[in-house]
Structure 1
Amino acid sequence: MTRTAPPEADPTPKEPAPAVALHTGTSDLRTLITRNLRTSGIYVAFVAIVALFAVLTDGVSLSPGNITNIVLQYSYILVLAIGMVLVIIAGHIDLSVGSVVALTGAISAVLVIKNGNPWWVGVLAALAVGLAVGAWQGFWVAYVGIPAFIVTLAGMLLFRGLTLQVLDNISLSPFPQEYGRVASGFLNGLIGGQGYDAFTLLIGAFAVAGYAVSGFRTRLARIKYSQPVESFPLFVARVVLVGAVVMYFAWQLAHARGLPIVLIILAVLILAYSLISKRTVFGRQIYAIGGNLAAAQLSGVKVKVVNFWIFVNMGFLSAVAGIIYSSRSNGAQPAAGNMFELDAIAAAFIGGAAVTGGVGTVVGAMVGGLIMAVMSNGMQLMGVDQSVQSVVKGLVLLLAVAFDVYNKRRAGASR
């Protein structure tokens, strides 16, 4: 057998190409930053707002007691924002959630306070009413074809009127102690700790570990499909930064009253709906419908069915928010839930949802809701007049939507 001689090495020296590699890396990084500008900007804005109010309130806004109060006072808005962002991603809107919060809380109060049923009967009844409301509105939107804006506007009036009838125009209170623990109870002292609650710190550490593992798996999946990712040092820096924030938050809670039960409920909902929106067929269909309805129909998506269940889900989460709110206020009032729909919509848009649908995340909506919560809480601590608070919130919402429009125009011009 003849052997072929190996090719001779080229004596011409090769010029290193670090500039090309650097240019490519810089270009990829610039593309990555541009692509995630809106999401990254939300996180930066959140940190900046927290730091600003920490300075303006001389650190009171970051005290253990105040952080606990923020969790307790705005948890129901965050629950509503989870459902609202899915509605907006699909290209709809829901103006009735505040009235549904009031109605479900009223049903629960009548059964528990007025009729003397166990507290859990009120919870189950509120959830059943929320599901029925969602099915009612989903039917008109999905199968009759009436725009969601009109259906939920009618629902806002309808369910507010039903609330007044159920309560007979009077407030009902107080709930039993067990019902009140849903929104005002704490888990502490389970594994000890001197001067702090070790269980809260342990839960915080588990949350950071879960975030790091999830982020690393997502990074590997993007690399596998040749999608751009941030450099590994940047990834590590992001995980460390998020971990530091979470552990500081857990440390403050541990030095206050421990881990709020409502925070556990909220965390379970965030994890569940993040998985549903990102990892399930149903979640991908929601994005497909909002991104391009005609293409979704042609690709076999059962648009009517998906739209129906989107509103059933919104009714369910409105009921959860109604239970939390009535538990927090220790009663039911005819005016409960007033303007909650606007806070939930603002949280979704500030958190990155697009006006035209097809864009948004559950985590982004949570950050948007926390921005609103921190601003409201900080301005209250500073004694800012309520009218000024409304002006500031309106401007923040307007700027968030304007930023979305600007990004879309820039993306269209670059094509």
Structure 2
Amino acid sequence: MNSQKQTTEANPKDNKGLSFKFDLQSYTLIIALVLIALIFGLLTGGEFLSSRNLSNLFTQMSIISVLAIGMTLIIVSGHIDLSVGSLVGLTGAVAATLQVWFGWNTILVVLAAVVTGAIVGLWQGWWVAYRAVPAFIVTLGGMLIFRGILIGISKGQTVAPMDESFKQIGNSYLPYSLGYLLALLSIALLIFWTIRGRSKRKSMGLSLPTATIDYGKVTMYSFFILLATYLLNRYYGIPVPIIIVVMLAAIFIFISTKTSFGRYIYAIGGNVEAAALSGINIKRNTLSVFVLMGALSGVAGVLLTSRLNAATVNAGNMYELDAIAACVIGGTSLMGGRGKIVGALIGALIMASIDNGMSMMNIETFWQYIVKGLILIFAVWIDILSKK
């Protein structure tokens, strides 16, 4: 009895320690992002933090962010996808050729691009899930195949220009009033889910963080939402591509955390044998992940083609590495079973900020590749250390 009592009394302290450690890891990315912003802000005379540059930065990161959402699920499930850059170029070319050469309207070409990406993902997922070919090999082959098809269907030339309605997808902004309305709605939802979550944990008899911690987080998030909205509205408003990213992120965060499919993906990546013994259909869920990745590549292809107002043979080149780097920097383990979409989005913002800041400082391109490569290696090293 005494030993049980001592164990029970010791647990709260242990839980507090774990909670503090978790919070420290969670906010390391945000701290790093703030430091990057401050450093580049000082080195560029404040231009990096200007409304115009922040608007461009969010627009630039939107394509990699869409890919990072899908790549998070791929890596969590224990796989990798090296073909997404070529698939972005291919789906963008499909949209451009259908509109420029065949006169399809914007809605149909967007659907065609997304469906093309999903079909390609289905094909790759079939090889991985049902023929047991390693994803590394399948997607490496896909990277070459899709780039070749891209060159073939575009006949090696730039396909342009796109219709005005298509261009608006990647180059338009929300009206100021609508931007503030969405910001207030986001804050209201944040407060609602926090209250609901605390009430649910209390009804189930689970431990609750102090109200100061929970509502302190809400206050901090609300401040950054309003600040970002204000800064973006000082330019042209909130870019539509970042709204698309937020909507997709919300959908996939819900899928990954609130559905059985999401739990299965984490279980498969954590221990595939245990997942199989638990009755999880490994093949079907693996196939589904690749289909989702393909569809998101189609969305990214539409955003890129819309932003450039053209499809080119080099579109999407090296995007797969940026997406993987964003996931790893955001805390997704390359060993599988661990990772969060929010972390991947912050990782994408960090990568975009580094690119943008170095470009503003007129640092040569080769240094940008070197820095990004070193950051990726460092992030993987941190992941290995955390596992040890």
Shorter-chain TM band? over 0.9
- Are 1:215 and 2:194 an aligned pair? yes
1:148-187 pair list within 5 angstroms: 148-187=135-174
Q: Which amino acid aligns with 1:215?
A: T
TM-score by length of 2: 0.94
Query: CA deviation digits over 1:373-395, x for unaligned, max 9?
Result: 11111111111111111121112
- Are 1:264 and 2:243 an aligned pair? yes
Q: 1:395 aligned to 358, 374, 379, which one? A: 374
Match of 1:282 in 2: 261
Paired with 1:54 and 1:226, the residues of 2 have a C-alpha distance of 47
Match of 1:191 in 2: none
Q: Which amino acid aligns with 2:345?
A: M
Query: CA deviation digits over 1:227-284, x for unaligned, max 9?
Result: 5554321222222112111111000111111222212211110110000000001000
Match of 1:70 in 2: 57
Q: 1:383 to 1:50 in 2, by over 3 A?
A: same
- Are 1:56 and 2:43 an aligned pair? yes
The answer to whether the 8 Å contact 1:198/1:254 transfers is: no
Note the C-alpha offset of 1:26.
Answer: 5.5
- Are 1:95 and 2:95 an aligned pair? no
Paired with 1:116 and 1:168, the residues of 2 have a C-alpha distance of 18
Unaligned runs of 5+ in 2: 1-7
Paired with 1:128 and 1:26, the residues of 2 have a C-alpha distance of 52
Paired with 1:96 and 1:131, the residues of 2 have a C-alpha distance of 13
Q: Which amino acid aligns with 1:359?
A: R
Paired with 2:193 and 2:37, the residues of 1 have a C-alpha distance of 26
52-61 or 63-72, larger mean C-alpha shift: 52-61
Q: 1:143 to 1:394 in 2, by over 3 A?
A: same
Q: 2:361 aligned to 377, 382, 390, which one? A: 382
Q: 1:360 to 1:221 in 2, by over 3 A?
A: farther
The alignment partner of 2:362 has SS state of: coil
* Higher CA-based Rg: 1
61-70 or 219-228, larger mean C-alpha shift: 219-228
Paired with 1:241 and 1:52, the residues of 2 have a C-alpha distance of 22
1:241-390 pair list within 5 angstroms: 241-390=220-369
CA RMSD of aligned residues (A): 1.8
Q: 1:202 to 1:168 in 2, by over 3 A?
A: same
Note the C-alpha offset of 1:84.
Answer: 0.2
Paired with 1:106 and 1:89, the residues of 2 have a C-alpha distance of 29
Please state which structure has a larger fraction of its residues in helix.
2
Match of 1:128 in 2: 115
Q: 1:80 to 1:149 in 2, by over 3 A?
A: same
Unaligned runs of 5+ in 1: 1-19, 189-196, 410-415
Q: 1:117 aligned to 66, 84, 104, which one? A: 104
The alignment partner of 2:315 has SS state of: coil
Paired with 2:265 and 2:96, the residues of 1 have a C-alpha distance of 35
Note the C-alpha offset of 1:35.
Answer: 3.4
Q: 1:137 aligned to 124, 137, 150, which one? A: 124
Note the C-alpha offset of 1:48.
Answer: 2.1
